[in-house]
């Protein structure tokens, strides 16, 4: 009696099936690791018909063009490219130069839409959890920036008021401190919740106006808020060590850690009761002065900078005190 080889018991067919399943599993597993993949960014902006739109890769401090296209008669566009690691990308219409920042992971299909011309302030994102978190951060930043702009306008509009110093400025200072405190609290909470996302890294580099409202400064200061920088660096470096923004943060953390060690060593050598290091300087008369020349005397040593308003004010106070202590 002949054996029926089509009954499903053929070991050759079983080995072939197993091999196909194994290859399929390896391919699937390889795709899940996020080593790279085709990424799609689609957009719908009804106000931007037949406009040029550009996709940039945000590499270090530069924007590298990835692709460009022209929207159709309904304001739609589509970009498709290969992404190797999670990176920041931006979408910008050529007419107004305003960017929508996206935290793109390999293989994502991202859809962004906005019904308004100021799209960078009010847009929605689907298909990218990290980019959704970025949009939340951007919306919060826009709200606070508007509050700071109103504060600055009130400041300059009332600068020459006779009541500015005694009534208006104290109120503005109080409002400024409240806004800064709220923004810091939001940012710290955002970083704690999203330290393993690129959005958490982006939060570290947000800027707010300084107390003089004339320049910007980080919301989170690396010295005061080191724990938050460390939190993001540790989480992202473990997940995406090859990502450009992650590598940049890692380099900064290494530099800051070295600076902290140097500072701690100086503090250890200049504490209370420890002999001060020798300092040599040239006086206004051209004489060489050494700190050791005043050993046994009380010395007021001040470090200042000509560009710092507080330093200049302190110099006036010290000058007055000097002449009070040394009358002619």
| Cα dihedral 123, 128, 129, 135 in deg (nearest 10) | -20
pLDDT of residue 302: 84
Q: How much is the mean pLDDT over the chain?
A: 84
pLDDT at 267 over 80: no
The encoded tokens of residue 180 equal 């800064």
Q: What distance in Å separates the CA atoms of residue 289 and residue 297, rounded to the nearest whole number?
A: 15
Average pLDDT over residues 73-102: 92
Task: List the domain boundaries for the chain.
Answer: 37-119, 133-269, 280-325
Sign of CA dihedral 49, 52, 56, 61: negative
pLDDT at 1 over 50: no
Q: What's the DSSP call for residue 166?
A: I
In the chain, what percentage of residues exceed pLDDT 90? 49
Structure pTM?
A: 0.72
pLDDT at 308 over 70: yes
pLDDT in tens, 183-225: 999 999 999 999 999 999 999 999 988 876 667 889 999 889 9
128 contact partners, CB below 8 Å, separation of at least 6: 102, 103, 104, 105, 108, 110
Give the neighbor-by-neighbor strand order of the sheet with 62-70: 62-70, 52-59, 87-93, 99-104
Average pLDDT over residues 146-175: 89
pLDDT at 22 over 70: no
pLDDT at 245 over 70: yes
The encoded tokens of residue 29 equal 């597993």
At 108, give phi and psi (nearest 5°).
Answer: -80, 150
At 298, give phi and psi (nearest 5°).
Answer: -80, 125
Average pLDDT over residues 262-287: 75
- More reliable by pLDDT, 240 or 259: 240
Average pLDDT over residues 64-82: 96
pLDDT at 278 over 60: yes
pLDDT of residue 270: 65
Sign of CA dihedral 225, 226, 230, 233: positive
The answer as to CATH 2.40.37.10 being correct for domain 37-119 is no
Name the region of 98 (left: φ>0; alpha: ψ -120 to 50; beta: rest): beta
Going by pLDDT thresholds of 50, 70 and 90, the confidence category of residue 322 is confident
Q: What counts of helices (H) and strands (E) characterise the chain?
A: 7, 12
| Cα dihedral 300, 306, 311, 312 in deg (nearest 10) | 100
The encoded tokens of residue 98 equal 């305003």
């Amino acid at each position: 009696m002949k054996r029926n080889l089509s009954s499903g018991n053929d070991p050759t067919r079983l080995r072939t099936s197993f091999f196909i399943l194994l290859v399929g599993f390896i391919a699937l597993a390889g795709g899940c690791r996020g080593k790279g993949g085709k990424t799609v960014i689609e957009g719908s902006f009804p106000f931007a018909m037949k406009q040029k739109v550009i996709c940039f890769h945000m590499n270090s401090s530069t924007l590298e063009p990835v692709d460009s296209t022209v929207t159709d008669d309904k304001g739609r566009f589509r970009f498709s490219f290969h992404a190797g690691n999670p990176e920041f990308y931006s979408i910008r219409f050529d007419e107004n130069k305003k960017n929508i920042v996206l935290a793109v992971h390999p293989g994502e299909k991202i859809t962004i839409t906005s019904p308004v011309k100021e799209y960078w302030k009010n847009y929605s994102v689907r298909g990218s959890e990290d980019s959704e978190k970025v949009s939340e951060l951007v919306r919060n930043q826009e709200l606070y920036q508007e509050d700071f702009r109103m504060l600055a306008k009130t400041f300059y509009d009332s600068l020459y008021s006779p009541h500015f110093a005694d009534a208006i400025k104290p109120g503005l200072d109080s409002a400024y401190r409240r806004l800064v405190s709220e923004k810091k609290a939001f940012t710290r909470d955002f970083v704690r919740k999203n330290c393993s996302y690129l959005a958490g890294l982006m939060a570290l580099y947000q800027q707010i106006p300084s107390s003089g409202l004339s320049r910007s400064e980080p919301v989170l200061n690396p010295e005061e808020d080191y724990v938050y920088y460390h939190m993001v660096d540790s989480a992202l470096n473990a997940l995406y060590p090859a990502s450009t923004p992650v590598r940049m943060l890692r380099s900064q953390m290494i530099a800051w850690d070295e600076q902290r060690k140097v500072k701690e060593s100086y503090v250890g050598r200049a504490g209370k009761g420890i002999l001060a290091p020798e300092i040599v300087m040239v006086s206004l008369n051209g004489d060489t002065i050494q700190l050791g020349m005043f050993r046994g005397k009380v010395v007021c040593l001040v470090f200042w900078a000509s560009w710092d308003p507080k330093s200049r004010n302190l110099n006036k106070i010290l000058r007055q005190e000097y002449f009070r202590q040394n009358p002619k």
